[in-house]
Chain A
């Protein structure tokens, strides 16, 4: 069982470059999420997708865009990377229709913007 798979695992970008972080889940979950984790802080929600075809902003959406490509895949795009976007990015998925459940997280993408 792969669960939630993120690519790449590591990335270094120069300021102003663009890139897309990929996320795929094989648990048939409807909802998917992108979080960022900065040192000494908990995770903060960037964007989420409650179901295929819908996306919405989270707590820190500025500088990011997302695409829910299909039920399995949810990508995060940085159009013009800035040093403040240096962080570890986690994708998660969840079956919100099930009452007693939690979000499952990918392994993370460590992004450095220089």
Chain B
């Protein structure tokens, strides 16, 4: 059974600081996705990571994938309040089928 674990589950930080969210998964996969969810809203795709060593950046967010360690990270640089949201990582249960197994989510609060 594929398990996906995120940590931390809750993160409160100051604007301007850097932090990293970790996503560990239990079986071999080379496809990992990061989504953002605002309260009461749908999921917005942030990154698609498709191979070992993949690194993608968008603004203050950077995601990476290490398939050998079964680990992905989402790094936040110089956080701003607008990045407050819940962030989910998800792994394909069957590669390419988009049958996603989600982590529990990391609720990020950025204080002015």
**Which residues of A does B touch, CB under 8 Å?**
31, 33, 35, 40-45, 48, 50, 58-59, 90, 92, 94, 96, 99-108
Contact = CB atoms under 8 A, between A and B. Distances in A.
B78 interface: no
Contact of A101 (B4, B41, B48, B103): B48
Contacts, number: 62
Contact of A42 (B45, B96, B99, B105): B105
Contact of A58 (B48, B99, B105): B99
Interface in B21-66: 33, 35, 41-43, 45, 48, 50
A16 to B, nearest CB: 28
Contact of A103 (B41, B93, B98): B98
Q: Specify the main secondary structure of chain A where it touches its partner.
A: loop
B27 to A, nearest CB: 14
A98 B15 CA distance: 38
Nearest to A58: B99
Contacts of A100: 48, 50
A41 B104 contact: yes
